[in-house]
């Protein structure tokens, strides 16, 4: 990956990946849990924050706290510039054409709800069909269910195979003249499967069907380029890419966003208000009613800057090696079954242990300082598909190490001894 012989490679080589150095940037990783070193493997739920991000949020509150877009005074202007700079950072990171295509939301959930409520209510009619997949997070199921209920429309589900991969042929069969929207997860939070979203989008566009990508687990593990993907919408959360909670973004194509009615009414989203009529502000402000999470947006911008400086390619390489190593290590544990062994996978290792409930595994690992997630991961239909109530899930980030995976594996062996 690092080649110092060409000019472009010089930039790459500057981004030399040193996991121990990266770990020093994350203060929480120095923490002890039950007197053990913290081994944080619950990154799909939320990632830890580097000092760079924490400091930017702190700096906002200590030097520029002020409401945005409305003050002529210096503080308000500084805050507005910082907030809008974060929007440009996101635009560049996902390679959007314009910054007006980036709408700040509270996260993936709100971004999907925005599209379902605004685009959905305006465009979905009785008898129409919306396609999602069997591996969606509840955030990409329930908003569409609500819409279907309201409109008397139908939700269609792309089935998956035993490896946890979408069955593309079945997807093709589901698409028909009633299909009016497709919303799929890019990377599954429970399985780690990377879905063939470009193929899905290409196919859908032959029939002029818009596609939303749930990018919650994609932007932190893959190079996401919205122009290359040609997706119509992309939703993601800041807290899963080393940024703060309570902030995320929706990307949308301008022609779609322009035609959509507002999602929420209030300050900042208007152009002119009279009691008779209100006209709306231009994009992206039309969808940003009320005082936003200014510090959060600045924190997310900082997180993206941090990730870009490390280099997403370097992060991918590192996380791929962690996934390979951990898959190999846990495969040798008797009675352990990996749930989700798709050919294309990122960042997530889900498994079940014979005769031991995932919550017991999680509790025992916690005593070893290891934080994993156990449960249905907000993907209950997926659990039903595999006929299990829950899985144990280790999910990786740029700061994790092979030594931490060894701690996980030893913890699992101990758990088996206790319960075996």
Active site residues: 378
**Which listed residue (49, 87, 134, 137) binds ligand 7TS by CB under 6 A?**
137
CA–CA gap between residue 182 and residue 205 (Å, rounded)? 10
Among the listed residues 205, 202, 207, 152, the one whose alpha carbon sits nearest the alpha carbon of residue 177 = 207
SS3 245: coil
The answer to whether the bond into 79 is cis (omega within 30° of 0) is no
Which listed range, 136-144, 265-273, 283-291, 337-345, lies at the site for ligand 7TS (CB under 6 A)?
Answer: 136-144
Site residues (CB under 6 A) for ligand 7TS, limited to 80-109: 107-109
User: Based on CB atoms, which residue is closest to ligand 7TS, 109 or 117?
Assistant: 109
143 close to 118: Cβ distance less than 8 angstroms? no
Site residues (CB under 6 A) for ligand 7TS, limited to 18-57: 44-45
280 close to 262: Cβ distance less than 8 angstroms? yes
Would you list the DSSP string of 34-97? TTEE-EE-BTTT-----HHHHHHHHHHHHHT---SSS--SHHHHHHHHHHHHHHHHHHHHTT-S
Binding residues with ligand 7TS: total (CB under 6 A) = 17
Site residues (CB under 6 A) for ligand 7TS, limited to 376-415: 377-378
**Which listed residue (117, 139, 193, 392) binds ligand 7TS by CB under 6 A?**
139
Closest CB 373 distance from ligand 7TS, rounded Å: 6
For residues 255 to 294, the per-residue mask of contacts with ligand 7TS, x marking binding by CB under 6 A and - elsewhere, is ----------------------------------------
Q: What is the number of the residue whose Cβ is closest to ligand 7TS? A: 189
Closest CB 139 distance from ligand 7TS, rounded Å: 4
Q: What share of the chain is helix, strand, coil (3-state, %, to 5)?
A: 45, 20, 35
Closest CB 214 distance from ligand 7TS, rounded Å: 5
CA–CA gap between residue 418 and residue 420 (Å, rounded)? 6
| HSE of 330, CA atoms in CB hemisphere, 13 A | 27
Closest CB 334 distance from ligand 7TS, rounded Å: 27
Structure tokens that stand for 347 in this block? 């960042």
Would you list the DSSP string of 195-242? --HHHHHHHHHTTT--EEEE-TTTTTTS---HHHHT-SEEEEEGGGGT
Among the listed residues 202, 230, 30, 216, the one whose alpha carbon sits nearest the alpha carbon of residue 140 = 216
**Which listed residue (217, 281, 326, 392) binds ligand 7TS by CB under 6 A?**
217
User: Based on CB atoms, which residue is closest to ligand 7TS, 326 or 395?
Assistant: 395
For residues 175 to 214, the per-residue mask of contacts with ligand 7TS, x marking binding by CB under 6 A and - elsewhere, is ----------x---x------------------------x
Q: Are strands 39-40 and 129-133 parallel, antiparallel or unpaired?
A: unpaired
User: Based on CB atoms, which residue is closest to ligand 7TS, 108 or 117?
Assistant: 108
For residues 219 to 248, the per-residue mask of contacts with ligand 7TS, x marking binding by CB under 6 A and - elsewhere, is ------------------x-----------
Does position 133 interact with ligand 7TS (CB under 6 A)? The reply is no
Among the listed residues 343, 317, 313, 336, the one whose alpha carbon sits nearest the alpha carbon of residue 394 = 336
List interacting residues with ligand 7TS (CB under 6 A): 44-45, 107-109, 137, 139-140, 185, 189, 214, 216-217, 237, 373, 377-378
């Amino acid at each position: 990956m690092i080649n110092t012989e060409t000019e472009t490679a010089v930039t790459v080589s500057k981004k030399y990946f040193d996991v121990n150095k990266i770990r020093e940037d994350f203060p929480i990783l120095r923490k002890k849990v039950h007197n053990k070193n913290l081994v944080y493997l619950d990154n799909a739920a939320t990632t830890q924050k580097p000092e760079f991000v924490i400091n930017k949020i702190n700096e906002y509150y200590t030097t520029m706290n002020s409401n945005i877009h409305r003050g002529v005074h210096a503080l308000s202007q500084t805050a507005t510039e910082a907030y809008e700079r974060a929007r440009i950072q996101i635009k560049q990171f996902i390679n959007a054409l314009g910054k007006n295509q980036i709408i700040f939301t509270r996260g993936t959930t709100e971004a999907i709800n925005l599209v379902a409520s605004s685009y959905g209510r305006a465009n979905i009619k009785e008898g129409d069909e919306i396609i999602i997949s069997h591996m969606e997070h509840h955030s990409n199921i329930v908003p569409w269910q609500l819409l279907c209920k309201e409109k008397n429309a139908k939700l269609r589900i792309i089935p998956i195979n035993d490896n946890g991969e979408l069955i593309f042929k079945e997807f093709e069969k589901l698409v028909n003249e009633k299909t009016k929207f497709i919303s799929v997860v890019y990377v599954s939070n429970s399985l780690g499967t990377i879905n063939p979203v470009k193929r899905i989008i290409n196919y859908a566009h032959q029939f002029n069907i818009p596609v939303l990508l749930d990018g919650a687990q994609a932007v932190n593990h893959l190079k996401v380029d919205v122009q290359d993907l040609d997706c119509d919408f992309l939703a993601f959360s800041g807290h899963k890419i080393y940024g703060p909670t309570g902030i995320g973004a929706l990307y949308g194509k301008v022609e779609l966003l322009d035609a959509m009615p507002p999602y929420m009414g209030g300050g900042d989203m208007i152009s002119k208000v009279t009691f008779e009529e209100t006209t709306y502000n231009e994009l992206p402000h039309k969808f940003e009613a009320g005082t936003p999470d200014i510090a959060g947006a600045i924190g997310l911008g900082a997180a993206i800057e941090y990730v870009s400086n490390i280099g997403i390619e370097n992060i991918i390489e590192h996380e791929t090696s962690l996934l390979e190593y951990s898959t190999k290590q846990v495969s040798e544990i008797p009675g352990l079954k990996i749930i989700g062994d798709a050919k294309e996978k990122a960042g997530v290792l889900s498994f079940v242990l014979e005769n031991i409930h995932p919550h017991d595994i999680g509790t025992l690992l916690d005593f070893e300082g290891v934080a994993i997630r156990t449960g249905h991961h907000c993907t209950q239909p997926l659990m039903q598909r595999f006929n299990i109530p829950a899985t144990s899930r280790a999910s990786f980030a740029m700061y994790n190490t092979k030594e931490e995976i060894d701690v996980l594996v030893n913890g699992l062996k101990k758990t088996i001894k206790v319960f075996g």
